[in-house]
Amino acid sequence: MAVRFLAREVSDLCLGKPALRFLPVSATVADALSALKRSGESHVSVWTCEHSPAANGGVGGDCLCVGKICMVDVICFLCRENNLLNPSSALQSPLSDLLSKSPGIIKHLEPHSSLLEAIDYILEGAQNLIVPIESSGSVTSRKKLQNKPSSFGSTLHNGHEFCWLTQEDVVRFLLSSIGVFSPIPAFTMKSLSVIDTDVMTIYYDDPASSALDSISLSLTEQKSIGVVDESNRLIGEISPCTIAACDETVAAAIMTLSAGDLMAYIDYSGPPEDLIQLVKARLEEKNLGAILDFMEEHSFSSLSFSSSCSSDEEFGLNRSGGSGRYGPARSSEPIVCHPWNSLMAAMIQALAHRVTHVWVVEEDYSIVGIVTFAGILKVFRSIAGGVQQKP
C-alpha cells in the first residue's frame, strides 16, 4: 500500500498552488529586493527564458528556472566586505551574483512524475520542484478573470504557467495519509537513525559575523545555527527562516553584534532600541559610514509581508514590525524534541511551526542533533526499498 501511495503523481500536490511569478536572470539585486517586499513571498524564482514557440510542442519551450532568491541571500551579499563599503552600488549588481552555486537546488518535473521521483530529487539536494500547471481552460481565459495583477513579473512562459513544490509540501502530503506507512511513523527518531549529528553552532558571546558562512550553508542545507552556552546547551538559534522575515538592514546587525544580541535583534518582538543604537555606534567605530547611511535610509520603510520560509502559500500574518523587519515576525526560540519522540511528532512540530527542521536535545538541552525534512523523507523513501522511478 505504501509503495502504491508513493507512486501517485506530483500533480496531486499541485492542486490549489498559485502560478509562480518570476524575475529574469538579467535582473538586479535591487529588483529581487523590491519583488520580495512587494510580493509577500519568501522566495523569488529566477528564470532564463527565450520566449519563442515551444519546440516540438514541449511545455515552456526554452524557459528554465535556474534558482531562487530570498532575503537571506540579499543580506549575506550585503555583508561582503566590498559591499559594506558601498551597499547602494551593490544592489545594482546582477542577480546572478546571488544565485546558489550548489547544483540541483531547483528541479523541473512533469505533472505525471511520481511522488517517489520527487522524493528522490529532494534527497539529491533539491529544495523546490517546478511543475507545469495543468488547466482545463486556457491560460489566457483564466488570466482575464484575475482582478489582481502580478505584483512582480509575469507568470507566463510561452503560454504556460508553473508552480513549485517545497519539501514542506511533500512532508505535509505524507502526513495527510500517515496511516498508510504504519507503524514506522510511530517509531522513535533514535531507532530510525533519522537524527543528523552534523550541526552548526556558535557560542552566545561570539561575533555574529563569524557565522556568516554558516548562515549561507544553513540556507542550502535547510538547517539553522544553534546558539549554545559554555556547556553546549541550546539556548537559541540563528535561522534562515527568521532572517528571511527581516529586511536588508539586518546586514548591519550581523556585522556588529554578538550571536546572542543578534537573536534579540531579529526576534519576532523586534530589535530593542538599545541594540539599534549599539549597531549604529559600532558602525561608526568601524568607519562603515556607508552601511550606516544605508541603514538610516531603509529602516522603518518596509511594510510588506512574507510567507513561510519553506512554502509559497500566503500565511495571513499582518505584522509590519519595525526596524530590520519586512515580513511576519518569527521567533529565535528553537523548536525542539527529544530522541525518544516519534517521527510523526517531529513532522507535526515542524509543520505546525512552519520550519524546515527540529532540534533534538536531551532533557538538559544539550544538543543531540537535528532532524530535517530531507531526513524525514529519507525514512519514507526507504519503505519503497530499491524501487527505481527516475530514468
Instruction: Give tens-digit pLDDT for 133-175.
Output: 976 554 444 444 343 444 456 777 767 899 999 999 999 999 9
pLDDT band at 324 (very low <50, low <70, confident <90, very high): low
pLDDT band at 50 (very low <50, low <70, confident <90, very high): low
Over the stretch 281-310, which tens digit does the pLDDT of each residue have? 999 999 999 999 998 887 644 433 344 555
Query: What is the arithmetic mean of pLDDT over 5-17?
Result: 93
Query: What is the arithmetic mean of pLDDT over 200-207?
Result: 98
Least confident range of 29-38, 143-152, 191-200: 143-152
User: Is the pLDDT confidence value at 220 over 70?
Assistant: yes
pLDDT at 310: 57
pLDDT at 21: 87
* Better-predicted residue by pLDDT, 52 or 46: 46
User: Is the pLDDT confidence value at 314 over 90?
Assistant: no
pLDDT at 300: 43
Least confident range of 23-37, 50-64, 351-365: 50-64
Least confident range of 131-140, 246-255, 341-350: 131-140
pLDDT at 225: 97
Whole-number percent of the chain with pLDDT over 90 = 68
Across the chain, what does the average pLDDT equal?
85
Over the stretch 259-276, which tens digit does the pLDDT of each residue have? 999 999 998 777 889 999
CATH pick for 1-53+62-135+155-166 out of 3.40.50.150, 3.10.580.10, 3.40.50.300, 3.40.190.10 = 3.10.580.10
Spell out the domain ranges in the chain.
Answer: 1-53+62-135+155-166
pLDDT band at 197 (very low <50, low <70, confident <90, very high): very high
The three state secondary structure string of the chain is CHHHHHCCEHHHHCCCCCCCCEEECCCEHHHHHHHHHHHCCCEEEEEECCCCCCHHHCCCCCCEEEEEEEHHHHHHHHCCHHHHHCHHHHCCCEHHHCCCCCCCCEEECCCCCEHHHHHHHHHCCCCEEEEECCCCCCHHHHHHCCCCCCCCCCCCECCECEEEEEHHHHHHHHHHCHHHHCCHHHCEHHHHCCCECCCEEEECCCEHHHHHHHHHHHHHHCCCEEEECCCCEEEEEECHHHHCCECCCHHHHHHHCEHHHHHHHHCCCCCCHHHHHHHHHHHHHCCCHHHHHHHHHHCCCCCCCCCCCCCCCCCCCCCCCCCCECCCCCCCCCCEECCCCEHHHHHHHHHHHCCCEEEEECCCCEEEEEEEHHHHHHHHHHHCCCCCCCC
pLDDT at 267: 87
pLDDT band at 102 (very low <50, low <70, confident <90, very high): confident
* Better-predicted residue by pLDDT, 144 or 48: 48
pLDDT at 122: 96
pLDDT band at 194 (very low <50, low <70, confident <90, very high): very high
User: Is the pLDDT confidence value at 355 over 70?
Assistant: yes
pLDDT at 299: 67
pLDDT at 319: 34
